[in-house]
Amino acid sequence: MDDRAPATRDTDRPSARGDLVARLLEHCSLVCPTGEEGPIADAVVARYEQLGEPVVRIGHSVVIGEPGPRWRGRDGGDRPLVLLVGHLDVVPPTDADREPRVERHRDVEVVVARGASDMKAGNVVAMRAFEDRTLRAASPYDLVLVLYAGEEGPADGNELAAVLAAVPWLAQADLAIVLEPTDGEVQLGCLGSLQAEVVFRGRQAHSARPWHGRNALTMAGSFLTELDTDHVQDVEVDGIAFRDVWSATQAWTPGLGPGERTTAVPVRNVIPGAFTVNVNLRFAPSRSTEDAERMVHDRVGDRAEVSIVDRAPAAPPHRDEPLVTAFVATVGAPVTGKQAWTDVARFAEVGVPALNYGPGLTAQAHQRGEFVPVDAVVAASERLERFLRGEGGTAAGQERS
């Protein structure tokens, strides 16, 4: 426990429901899309410096807290280190979710705001638990809060990698709880993600005389039909169901691609000499990124050129890790696989067991008019605090030899 501020008595804490709603409205009021997280990072730093907590800022990411004297690194000491992890950025808001507010949807109280489900509800659950000094004093775990930038953008702009490099003891943590939206489930592991640009090469010609060329767009027809009819494969890893998923997410002819600028008005009477399809392969944690690249090359074959433009590894479920087992047993929530990519994968890369658990609704992520049910936020807060207090049996971290 940090001795620089007095412990908070249970009678001093506002009601969980009212406190969580107020925190969420305040947190969502700073609408900071990816790349623009400066203001919300400033607010987080100011909050925790005022509370007397150790604060480290890396870019627009913030690490709050530090291990106590009884922690000796992973598998050492008698107080395992648990990280509470969330991202600060959101996708761009719409006019339906720019202003945070409380509403009733079909007699259910919800908070409507950009990022309400993905993932500011998870952030405030983590922040409330971390700020409860009574809980931290009673917990069998040391707690550290990690709030980082750049999660919603490309993998190379995600600041969690820089955070792990700048604060190396984070990579010795015993468990990372990533509070992404999971519908209140404990979602173990995550899919990997690979983005590939598949370029079909033809020969440009006049559309009145297409026999003078070869239409690269229609050359892609059989490939696109194949993706439409054969794009999902079930995969089981450690008894948990995942799915490999193939998706064509963008397509363009020359001059019209992402980031391209053309000075000419696009014309409609030209047979395109090239046609690019962006293919996103989401792959189960039984596969490496190298495996996924081979899968794309094998599927495309000699029909087109393949360029891998972005990749992020999958993460194993870590189902048998002691603290993962303890978390699952204590919170009593359904256990599934994470059918998406999250930063549990970055923790897996450095050897930290991690899991996904948060109050947000996966179906609301990035939706217009995004919302989260207040009851879900309260339930997640209660369940997380139950684990952090070490309820439900002996803390698994204390069973290590």
Has residue 261 got a pLDDT over 80?
Answer: no
Adjacency order of strands within the sheet including 354-357: 55-58, 61-64, 142-148, 81-87, 175-178, 354-357, 186-188, 335-337
Q: What does the mean pLDDT of the chain come to? A: 92
Has residue 304 got a pLDDT over 60?
Answer: yes
Fold equal for 10-190+316-399 and 192-312: no
Has residue 48 got a pLDDT over 60?
Answer: yes
**Domain segments of the chain: what residues?**
10-190+316-399, 192-312
Give the model's pLDDT for residue 8.
Answer: 43
349 an active-site residue? Answer: no
Query: Rg of the chain over CA atoms, in angstroms?
Result: 24
Percent of the chain residues past pLDDT 90, beyond the cut:
85
Please tell me the pTM assigned to this model: 0.85
DSSP string, 122-188: HHHHHHHHHH-HHHHHH-SSEEEEEEES-TTS-GGG-THHHHHHHSGGGGG-SEEEE----TT-EEE
Give the model's pLDDT for residue 6.
Answer: 39
230 an active-site residue? Answer: no
Superfamily of domain 10-190+316-399: Zn peptidases (3.40.630.10)
Domain 192-312 of CATH type 1.20.120.1730: no
Cβ 287 vs Cβ 192: under 8 Å: yes
Q: Two tokens at 7?
A: 């412990």
- Residues 118, 151, 197, 321: which is the catalytic one? 151
- Residues 89, 152, 174, 180: which is the catalytic one? 89
Please, which pLDDT band fits residue 13 given cuts at 50, 70 and 90? low
Average pLDDT over every residue of 296-303: 98
Has residue 315 got a pLDDT over 90?
Answer: yes
Burial of 227 (0-12, 13-18, 19+ CB in 10 A): middle
Contacts of 273 (CB under 8 A, 6+ apart): 201, 202, 203, 204, 205, 213, 214, 216, 254
Q: Between these two residues, 399 and 32, which has the higher pLDDT value?
A: 32
pLDDT digits (tens, 9 = 90+) for 341-382: 999 999 999 999 999 999 999 999 999 999 999 999 999 999
Please, which pLDDT band fits residue 1 given cuts at 50, 70 and 90? very low
Has residue 70 got a pLDDT over 80?
Answer: no
Q: How far apart are CA 266 and CA 308, in angstroms?
A: 27
